[in-house]
């Protein structure tokens, strides 16, 4: 079980992820609504894992991922992408993401990916 930082610009998606992760026994370290806040919260909270939306205002998920990896090369970041963004997934993996989940989410898939990444 891990301490997780949820990054998404929509409250609905954050609430959904929070519910799914809670049901899997994880703790929510915190939430962020954009890439800049994500980097700041990562520094402050040092979570075991980050779920990172790709399309966000101010700083997008890929830039935030790079920022977090610059702070902590061992950071575990799982990207949240929409169906059809396979090029974005490739770019994220190249930039150091450990995994990805696809919107719309299915709870078992989210928990499986989080479990795999936490075990890596």
Q: How far is the CB of 51 from other proteins (least distance, A)?
A: 14
28 vs 107, beta carbon nearer other proteins: 107
68 vs 102, beta carbon nearer other proteins: 102
Q: Would you tell me which residues interact with other proteins (CB under 8 A)?
A: 12, 15-16, 19-20, 81-86, 89-90, 100, 102, 104-109
Strand partners of residue 96? none
Residue 72 in contact with residue 44, Cβ under 8 Å?
Answer: no
Q: How far is the CB of 107 from other proteins (least distance, A)?
A: 4
Q: How far is the CB of 92 from other proteins (least distance, A)?
A: 10
Residue 70 CB neighbours (<10 A): 11
Q: Is 95 exposed, middle or buried (0-12, 13-18, 19+ CB in 10 A)?
A: middle
């Amino acid at each position: 079980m891990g301490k997780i930082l949820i990054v998404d610009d929509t409250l609905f998606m954050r609430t959904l992820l929070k519910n799914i992760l809670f049901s899997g026994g994880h703790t929510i370290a915190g939430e962020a609504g954009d890439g800049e806040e994500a980097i700041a919260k990562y520094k402050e909270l040092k979570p075991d894992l980050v779920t990172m939306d790709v399309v966000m205002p101010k700083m997008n998920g890929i830039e935030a991922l790079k920022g977090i990896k610059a702070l902590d090369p061992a950071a575990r970041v799982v990207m949240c992408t929409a169906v059809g963004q396979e090029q974005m997934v490739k770019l994220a993996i190249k930039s150091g993401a450990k995994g990805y989940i696809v919107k719309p989410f299915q709870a078992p898939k989210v928990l499986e990916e989080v479990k795999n990444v936490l075990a890596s």
